[in-house]
Structure 1
Amino acid sequence: MESPKLWLQDDGQPLSCQEKLRVLDENWQEVQEILQDAFEDAVLMGVSEQGMRAHLTDLVASLQSPHQGNKA
């Protein structure tokens, strides 16, 4: 999956800073590779694909915003 074409700010405006866009794209690729590796390892060790997808979805849902501290 390619990184998003637009990275929207809280006000709905697209982020335009090229350096920030570069960092976001690099982070996206890195996270995608790590998640793919973890997913493949789990499935190869016998975890159901559906179960692993659910765990990864829960992981993303539990991420905490740096703006909200531990309240997310």
Structure 2
Amino acid sequence: MNPPERWPGRDGAPVACLEKLKVLRENHAELAQAMQDAFEDALLMGVDEAAMRAILHALVDGLRAP
């Protein structure tokens, strides 16, 4: 899972700060790996694939902005 090529800012302009882009890429990689690991573990333990996808989507949908 590759990170987006462009990270849109609140004003619609892309985030350009190199340090911010580095952090965003690192966070994306960490989250992608954690989600992949959790997904694979669930499937190995017999969880239905579609159900696990829905559970992961629900996690994202439940995120709250600070």
TM-score (norm: length of structure 1): 0.90
SS at match of 1:51: helix
Which aligned runs of 4 or more in structure 1 are off by greater than 2 angstroms?
Answer: none
Higher relative contact order (CA 8 A, sep 6+): 2
Query: How much identity, in percent, do the aligned residues show?
Result: 53
Structure 1 unaligned regions, length at least 5: 67-72
Partner of 2:43: 43
RMSD: 0.4
**Count of matched residue positions in the alignment of Structure 1 and Structure 2:** 66
Partner of 1:24: 24
Deviation at 1:10, TM superposition (A): 1.2
Deviation at 1:2, TM superposition (A): 0.4
Deviation at 1:52, TM superposition (A): 0.1
TM-score (norm: length of structure 2): 0.98
1:2 aligns with 2:2: yes
Matches of 2:20 and 2:61, distance apart in 1: 23
Matches of 1:28 and 1:5, distance apart in 2: 12
